[in-house]
């Protein structure tokens, strides 16, 4: 049996901390040797932020009474020795609940009242309005207090049909989905719209985020949950009951919210829970096993997934087994198999993606820093040739050389105006791209879709508008890509001219690549098109629901556009930073050349001393380059999970 999800996630956390630690030491080493320019600093910061803040979200989705909260307890919270998430019979988690950890906030449970649905702000907007949330402090060492506080996510309230309709829990045309009114005509709805649990659990501290979602009615009522949070989860665990198999409502959740594309199914894991209900003393172990295998096969066929994506477990028996240290019961519960599948699937895939991004970032960092070292090496070579030409020359020749260097310096200083003009054109083009990707432009692109969705009644032509909108969004990214390529071509011509005039060694970076943002748009389009089928036509007829849907879309798209703009900005910094570096090194070179000539004029031994200094500097540059290669190679080759060590030797100077 391989490592459990908890063990592998813990090892992943150690790897991330060690990487961030080594990256910080690399930054300090580079700063101490004046190898840090704006682009290098930005790239280092991005790498550190990417690794330190990397989150892994696992969403648990199920219809009511499938044992979802119990499964979360069994996998993540058994060490508390009791249930933490409410998991009694009947409906437990009534509102979407996120478990994570933010060290800047005290441990707490924050609850957003259901009434906020009557206003049009998205969940993302409500997150920053702390005054509207009810906050309950959590006592970290007191499992009973935490469990008691978390019972609030189960709270409900009774409202009139009009209020239920306004809140999105009653649809006149969807009779089967509506809750049953009581004798007074009132219906039960969740008291809270969303819950945020901030607790320093070891896995949550390392970046795990757990999303616990309620059943079909609540999932469908919150568009932001289904088009933003669930699609962005790195893995979705879909829970069925072993005794019921795939019910009609299970299938609705799967088809409408989870199986939106072939790619999304790869990140889905189906858990057939409550297998202990099949344990029957009247049947033999072989009969029970055959029945269980039949349920797994049937579930896989109905959902259209490979059989190995269906894992049978008993969350309740697994939790009991962990608390009582009953190894035999734990094995029978199937929980260790599920944890291993989670570990290999989520953590294996997540770390490979992160390591690939890290390797690419470190390689770019190495190239940019090597360029600075090579600039210094070339300037030293020029100085060496210049000084050797002075051997045996008289004072007038040396004085003449000093005047020539000063003249070169004056001409160079005058030429910087040309360089600033090039930079101004470059920045103007870049600003135009940023405007195309800005919030104002995005709002304009979404205006027709927003107007169509906000019309009353059935929206029969909305799919066409959706497709046109996403075609337009993709065209905007294509235009940004073309602008980036145009800027790159312009810089290429300018760099060649500067190289010829001033002996620079400027190399324009490859054009920025925005294709993966277009893939993000395709995924977002897929997750939204699910709402355009007949099953959701009646919900879309409600202007409030439609407006929430378009707000959720706008929030997600803004993130994509901002990320694309950030990538373009980093690319731009990489291009201009080498120009800044060569200007800086050239000015430094003029100062050193004049200083060397002055020393030669003052003392006969000055020439020999300066030549010796340059030889020593060249050797030092060789050492710097070798050390840079070593340090960046160490970052790329850091051992992954299962082989991570902490600590490390101190960096030499």
Fold held by 56-155+191-333: Rossmann fold (3.40.50)
Is the pLDDT confidence value at 652 over 50? Answer: no
Instruction: For residue range 109-144, list pLDDT tens digits in order.
Output: 999 999 988 887 778 888 888 888 999 999 988 989
Alpha-carbon distance values, 310 to 2, 241, 338, 443 (Å): 18, 12, 9, 42
Q: For residue 360, count other CB atoms closer than 10 A to its CB.
A: 12
Is the pLDDT confidence value at 480 over 80? Answer: yes
Is the pLDDT confidence value at 501 over 70? Answer: yes
Helices (H) and strands (E) in the chain, counts: 24, 11
Give the domain ranges of the chain: 56-155+191-333, 389-602
The answer to whether 565 and 476 are in contact (CB under 8 A) is no
Q: Using a pLDDT cut of 70, give the percent of the chain over it.
A: 88
Is the pLDDT confidence value at 623 over 60? Answer: yes
The answer to whether 271 and 238 are in contact (CB under 8 A) is yes
Of 190-194, 226-230, 357-361, where does mean pLDDT reach its minimum?
A: 226-230
Supply the pLDDT for residue 296. 92
Is the pLDDT confidence value at 646 over 50? Answer: no
CB contact set of 179 (below 8 Å; sequence gap of 6+) = 164, 169, 170, 187, 188, 189, 217
Instruction: For residue range 202-227, list pLDDT tens digits in order.
Output: 888 878 888 888 765 555 567 677 67
For the chain, how are helix, strand and coil distributed in percent, rounded to 5? 65, 10, 25
Supply the pLDDT for residue 641. 45
Supply the pLDDT for residue 93. 67
CB contact set of 510 (below 8 Å; sequence gap of 6+) = 488
H or E element that contains 497? helix 462-502
Is the pLDDT confidence value at 555 over 80? Answer: yes
CA distance 544 to 530: 18
Among 311, 307, 334, 309, CA closest to 321: 334
Q: Where are the alpha helices (DSSP H) in 81-169?
A: 123-127, 143-150, 161-167
Note the Cα 369 to chain centre separation in Å: 26
Confidence label for 2 from pLDDT (cuts 50, 70 and 90) = low
The answer to whether 276 and 245 are in contact (CB under 8 A) is no
Of 264-268, 534-538, 608-612, where does mean pLDDT reach its minimum?
A: 534-538
CB contact set of 479 (below 8 Å; sequence gap of 6+) = 436
Residue 508 phi/psi, 5-degree rounding, is -70, 135
Q: Which residue has the higher pLDDT, 434 or 376?
A: 434
Supply the pLDDT for residue 262. 62
Is the pLDDT confidence value at 394 over 80? Answer: no
Instruction: For residue range 318-361, list pLDDT tens digits in order.
Output: 999 999 999 999 999 999 998 888 877 777 777 777 777 788 88
The answer to whether 253 and 216 are in contact (CB under 8 A) is yes
Supply the pLDDT for residue 76. 85
Alpha-carbon distance values, 365 to 40, 195, 372, 573, 612 (Å): 6, 41, 11, 12, 31
The vertex-359 CA angle with 14 and 237, nearest 5°, equals: 55
CA distance 42 to 365: 10
Q: In what order do the strands lie in the sheet with 108-113?
A: 134-137, 108-113, 192-198, 97-100, 208-212, 56-62, 235-241, 268-273, 310-312
Q: What's the average model confidence in pLDDT over 262-284?
A: 80
H or E element that contains 572? helix 543-602
Instruction: For residue range 16-49, list pLDDT tens digits in order.
Output: 888 888 888 888 888 888 887 777 787 788 888 8
Supply the pLDDT for residue 472. 93
């Amino acid at each position: 049996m391989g490592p459990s999800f908890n063990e592998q996630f813990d090892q992943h956390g150690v790897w991330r901390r060690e990487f961030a630690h080594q990256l910080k030491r690399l930054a300090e080493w580079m700063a101490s040797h004046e190898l840090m320019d704006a682009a290098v600093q930005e790239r280092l910061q991005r790498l550190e932020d990417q690794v330190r803040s990397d989150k892994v979200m696992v969403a648990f989705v199920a219809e009511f009474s499938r044992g979802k909260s119990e499964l979360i307890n069994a996998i993540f919270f058994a060490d508390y020795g009791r249930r933490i998430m409410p998991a009694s019979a009947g409906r437990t988690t009534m509102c979407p609940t996120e478990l994570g950890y933010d060290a800047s906030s005290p441990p707490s449970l924050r609850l957003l009242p259901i009434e906020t649905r009557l206003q049009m702000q998205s969940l993302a907007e409500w997150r920053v309005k702390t005054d509207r949330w009810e906050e309950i402090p959590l006592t970290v060492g007191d499992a009973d207090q935490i469990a008691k506080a978390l019972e609030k996510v189960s709270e409900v309230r009774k409202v009139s049909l009009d209020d239920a309709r306004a809140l999105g829990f009653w649809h006149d045309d969807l009779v089967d989905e509506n809750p049953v009114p009581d004798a007074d005509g009132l219906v039960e709805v969740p008291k809270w719209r969303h819950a945020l649990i901030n607790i320093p659990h070891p896995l949550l501290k390392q970046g795990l985020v757990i999303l616990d979602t309620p059943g079909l009615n609540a999932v469908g009522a919150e568009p932001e949950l289904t088009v933003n949070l669930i699609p962005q989860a790195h893995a979705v665990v879909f829970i069925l009951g072993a005794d019921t198999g795939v019910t009609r409502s299970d299938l609705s959740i799967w088809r409408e919210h989870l199986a939106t594309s072939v790619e999304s199914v790869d990140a889905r894991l189906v858990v057939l829970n409550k297998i202990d209900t099949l344990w029957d003393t009247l049947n033999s172990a072989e009969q029970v096993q055959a029945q269980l295998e039949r349920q797994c096969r049937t579930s896989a066929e109905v959902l259209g997934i490979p059989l190995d994506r269906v894992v049978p477990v008993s969350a309740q028996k697994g939790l009991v087994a962990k608390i009582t240290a009953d190894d035999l019961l734990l094995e029978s519960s199937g929980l260790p198999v599920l944890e291993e599948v989670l570990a290999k699937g989520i953590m294996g895939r997540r770390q490979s993606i992160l390591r690939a991004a890290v390797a690419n970032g470190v390689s770019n960092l190495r190239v940019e820093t090597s360029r600075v070292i090579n600039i210094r090496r070339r300037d030293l070579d020029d100085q060496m040739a210049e000084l050797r030409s002075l051997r045996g020359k008289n004072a007038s020749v040396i004085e003449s050389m000093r005047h020539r260097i000063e003249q070169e310096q004056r001409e160079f200083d005058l030429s910087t105006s040309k360089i600033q003009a090039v930079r101004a054109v470059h920045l103007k083009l870049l600003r135009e791209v940023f405007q195309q990707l800005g919030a104002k432009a995005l709002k304009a692109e979404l205006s027709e879709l927003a107007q169509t969705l906000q019309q009353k009644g059935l929206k029969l032509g909305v799919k066409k508008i959706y497709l046109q909108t996403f075609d337009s969004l993709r065209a905007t990214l294509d235009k940004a890509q073309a602008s980036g390529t145009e800027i790159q071509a312009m810089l290429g011509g300018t760099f060649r001219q500067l190289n010829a005039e001033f002996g620079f060694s400027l190399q324009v970076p490859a054009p920025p690549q925005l294709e993966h943002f277009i893939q993000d748009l395709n995924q977002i389009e897929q997750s939204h098109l699910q709402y355009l089928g007949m099953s959701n036509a009646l919900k879309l007829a409600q202007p409030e629901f439609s407006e929430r849907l378009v707000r959720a879309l706008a929030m997600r798209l803004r993130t994509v556009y901002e990320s694309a703009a950030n990538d373009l900005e980093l690319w731009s910094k990489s291009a201009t930073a080498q120009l800044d570096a060569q200007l800086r090194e050239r000015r430094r070179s003029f100062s050193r050349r004049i200083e060397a000539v002055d020393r030669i004029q003052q003392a006969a031994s000055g020439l020999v001393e300066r030549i010796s200094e340059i030889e020593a500097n060249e050797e030092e540059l060789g050492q710097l380059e070798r050390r840079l290669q070593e340090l960046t190679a160490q970052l790329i080759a850091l051992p992954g999970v299962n082989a991570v060590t902490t600590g490390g030797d101190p960096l030499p100077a």
